[in-house]
A = this chain, B = another copy of it.
Amino acid sequence: MANLDPDREKVALFLEDLQVGQRFVSGTHRIDEGQIRAFAEQFDPQPFHLDPEAAKTTLFEGVVASGWHTAAITMRLLVGGGLPIAGGIVGAGGEIAWPSPVRPGAVLHVESEILELRPSRSRPNRGVATVRSETRDQFGEVVQVLVAKLVVPRKMKP
């Protein structure tokens, strides 16, 4: 398997290594207008993501990032060490909310907390971790809340 991030591999956590209440903090990512426009042109071409002038007349009153862009950056921060789970971050789904907009210049990071851990009944080599990940900007404002169910491997018995 490609070793994409040696540091992450070193601290890769299995289901048995996790505890309810355990917290993780990611690195940061600065978003700018160019990134917002590039993502929007490909996936969410609406005026409030693309055009500063047109965006002024929308309910956002200026350019904001697509919520899916915020979600994608959040994933990048989690994969880049923000949530060091063995075997990678594999989500089955979850709940997502965007309580406040992400504007150009925002510096984002992700704070995650383990909410629940459940071994699989049918598959002894894995389980499910429910993780709440808050994406915050440089002012501490929460711009995304993701409560995700992740597939986490268990240590193989000797």
Contacts and interface: CB of A to CB of B under 8 A. Distances in A.
Q: How many copies are assembled?
A: 2
A93 B88 contact: no
Contacts of A90: 48, 59
Contacts of A39: 72
Interface of A: 1-2, 4, 39, 42-48, 50-51, 54, 57-59, 66-68, 71-73, 75-76, 79-80, 87-98, 145, 151
B79 A44 contact: yes
A97 B88 contact: no
A76 B43 contact: yes
A80 B79 CA distance: 30
Contact of A91 (B59, B72, B89, B98): B98
